[in-house]
Structures are given as C-alpha cells and as structure tokens.
Structure 1
Amino acid sequence: MQKPYIILEGNVEYTLGHIQNNLIIYDFDKILVYLNAKGKLLFGAGFKLFDEDSEIVFRLCNYMIRDEANCKKLDMDVRKGVLLTGPVGCGKTSLMKLLRHIVPHQKPYKMMPSRNIVFGFNHIGYKTIEDFGNGQCFCFDDLGVEPMGRHYGKDCNVMGEVLLSRYDLFLGYSIKTHATTNLNAQELEERYGIRVRSRMRELFNLVAFDDGSKDKRT
C-alpha cells in the first residue's frame, strides 16, 4: 500500500509523518529536512531554507497538507488558493515550486509565468483566456508585472480576465488558484481594478514575506 507521507528521492527515503487513527500526522521538522534535500535537487547545491522564513514555510506547509486545525489558527482557509507576496528575490517562486512535492498524493498545481500567458494571448487571442479558465489548478507566477495583452490591435488586461474566469471556477467547482506577486494590495488594485481585487480576496489566502526580506539570489 502506498504511503504518501513516505517519499523516495533516488535511494533515500524521507518519512514526513505517521498514521494515527487513519490520519496522517505530519512532523514539521521532518518536512523541513525533506524540503531542504528536495530543494537542492531542484535548484542546486546552494539551496537552503532560511530561519527567517520559517513562519511562512510553516504556514504554507500546514496549508499544503490540509491541516485544518492549524490552518484555522493561522487564519488560513484550505478551500482557497494561496497568494504569496514579497519583494523581488525573496524566494516566492522557489517555495511554490518546492512545496507541492510534500503531498505527492494530491494533484499538483502547474506553475505558469504570467507573462507567458500574455504572450500566448498576443499570439492566439482569447482562446488563451479560455485555456486557463479550465479545471486545472495553476500557480500564476509574477502576477502583476506582465505586460498588457494586445491581439489584432485590441488591448486586454489578460491576467485580470483569467482571474475572473478562475473565480467562476472556484465558485462553481471549488477549483483552486495560486499566485506569486511582488505587488501589494493597492498596486494589485491599480493593475486589475476594484472588481478583480475583490474577487482575489475570495480566491486567495494572503501569505506575505516581510518587506525587508533579503534577496536570496545575491
């Protein structure tokens, strides 16, 4: 029988928890050991999780494993997606790429740079918006810094339209959407308008790095 809390990477086995009363009880310290190891495999030997980010990692891990009791304490709604915000280089994209690996039994979300979606729109038009309004779970990376879309001379705020489609999916089918962004709430509202910003409050749990978080890429 497959045990989703035991993950094999090469010849190394990582046990992230144990079964108790038919529930997986995860061990956060063991999850951290696995995340650091998996991060090195994905991003290179220099990867590491920083102590200063432990609170954010803890919040996101509890969300990913769907620990409803802890999420309630952390003011996280497991039905919603995650909007991970913070300054450039603080590690948002790497974290979202990494964390999906601790729950191999769940259908993974697909990482998609927001600018690539706009480039697709510029090439093939509104079908692009339909394609990202489907039943798959996505994480839109670098939301808010993508260019305006333009197809056959007509401008379109592509990601704003995609988010409205994702909101309808969330309401109708409980399909989650995740995103990372460098922008704050006011900047997002200026970029997408009040209507989309209102929908984003319902779509996402906000998880924010401190404004002073250092650039991990330097």
Structure 2
Amino acid sequence: MMNPSKIIEAGVEYSLGKFDGHTVYYEFPKILIYLDAKGKILFGRNFKIFDNDRELLFRLCNYIIRDEKMCQKMNLDLNKGLLISGPVGCGKTSLMKLLKYVVPHQKAYEVIPCRNIVFSFNHIGFKAIEDFGESGYFCFDDLGVEPLGRFFGQDCNVLGEILLSRHDLLLSKKIRTHVTTNLSATELEERYGQRVRSRMKHLFNLVTFSKNTFDKRV
C-alpha cells in the first residue's frame, strides 16, 4: 500500500507525518522541510521558506491536506477554491505550484497564466472559454492583468466569462478553482463587474499576503 505520508525527491525520503493505514496525521514542521526541498528542486537553490510567511503557509497547508477541523477554525471552506492575493513578487505563484506536491494522492490542478488563456482565446475563439471554464482542475495565475480578448473583431473579457462558467462547474460537479492575483477585491470588481465578483465570493476562500510583504524576486 502506498504511504502518502512519505515522498521521495531526488533519492531522498521526506516524511510529512504519520500514516496509520487509513489516515495521514500531518506535521507542519515536516511539511515545511519538504516544501523547502521541493522548492529548491523546482525553482533553484536560492528558494527558501520565509519566516514571515509561516502563518499564511499554515493556512494553505491545512487547506491543501483538507484538515476539516483546522480549516473550520480558520474560516476556510473546503468546498471552495483559493484566491491568493498579494503584492507583486510575494510568492503566490510559487506556492501554488509547490503546494500540490504535498498531496500527490489528490487530483492535481494545473497552474495556467491568465494571459496565456487570453492568447488562446485570440487564436481559437470561444472554444478556449469552454476548455478552461467547463472542465479541468486549474489555478488561474495573475488574474486581472491579462489583456482583453479579441477574436474576429469581437472583444471579450475572457477570464470573466470563464469564472462564470467555473461557478456553474462548482455547483454541478464540485470542481474547485484556484486563482492568484495582485488586485484587491474592489479592483477585481472594477475589472470584471459586480456579477463576476458576486460569483467569486462563492468560488473562493480569500487568503491574503500582507501589503508589506517584500518582493522575493529582487
């Protein structure tokens, strides 16, 4: 039987906690050790877990391992996806690319830059909205800075339409959606309108980096 509490990376075994044959009892310090190691593999040796991010990471890790009791205490709804908001360079994208590796037994989401989705729309039209809106497990990265879509002279707020479809997908098939963004809730409403903003409240748990978080890419 596979032991989901142990993960092997580059020949090194990392323990995330204890497994009794039915349930994994995760230990946050061990998860951090693994995330630091996996981060260096994915993003280079300069990657590190910053102490200032530990509280936010604790929230995200409890969500990703689906700890119902802890998430209830932290007001995280496991039926919703994540909307991670924060300043440029704070690490939103890296964390979302990284966290899914903690739970290899779960269905993995794909991190897709929103601008790439718009480029796809500009090339193949409304099929792109179907492809990203009506199925699949995705984290839409950098929501709100993508250009307006345009296909055969017709303008389209592509991600706005996709989010409306993803709301329907959540209701019908319980498929969650994740998003990263630099924008505030007010700015998102200005960008996508009140209707989409209303749906986003049902789609996402809001997890926010401090405005004072420094740019880790500098």
Counterpart in the other structure of 1:16: 16
Counterpart in the other structure of 1:106: 106
Q: How does 1:1-218 map to 2 (within 5 A)?
A: 1-20=1-20, 22-218=22-218
Residue 5 of structure 1, CA deviation? 1.2
- Counterpart of 2:30 in structure 1: which amino acid? K
Q: Distance in 2 between matches of 1:6 and 1:134?
A: 34
Secondary structure of 2:166's counterpart equals helix
Q: Distance in 1 between matches of 2:105 and 2:134?
A: 21
* 132-141 or 27-36: bigger deviation: 132-141
- Counterpart of 1:197 in structure 2: which amino acid? R
Q: Distance in 1 between matches of 2:175 and 2:192?
A: 21
* 2-11 or 137-146: bigger deviation: 2-11
* Alignment deviations for residues 172-206 of structure 1 (CA, whole Å, 9 cap, x no partner): 11000000000000000000000000000100000
Residue 142 of structure 1, CA deviation? 0.2
Secondary structure of 2:62's counterpart equals helix
% identity of equivalent residues? 63
- Counterpart of 2:36 in structure 1: which amino acid? N
Moved >2 Å (runs of 4+): 19-22
Which blocks of at least 5 consecutive residues in structure 2 are unaligned? none
Residue 21 of structure 1, CA deviation? 7.9
Q: Distance in 1 between matches of 2:149 and 2:135?
A: 23
- Counterpart of 2:86 in structure 1: which amino acid? G
Residue 20 of structure 1, CA deviation? 4.3
- Counterpart of 1:112 in structure 2: which amino acid? I
Secondary structure of 2:146's counterpart equals coil
* Alignment deviations for residues 59-83 of structure 1 (CA, whole Å, 9 cap, x no partner): 0000000000000001001111000
* Alignment deviations for residues 4-25 of structure 1 (CA, whole Å, 9 cap, x no partner): 1110012100010112483211
TM-score, normalised by the number of residues in structure 2: 0.98
* Alignment deviations for residues 140-168 of structure 1 (CA, whole Å, 9 cap, x no partner): 00000000001111110000000001000
- Counterpart of 1:53 in structure 2: which amino acid? D
Q: How many pairs align?
A: 218
* 9-18 or 176-185: bigger deviation: 9-18
- Say what the alpha-carbon RMSD is for the aligned residues: 0.9
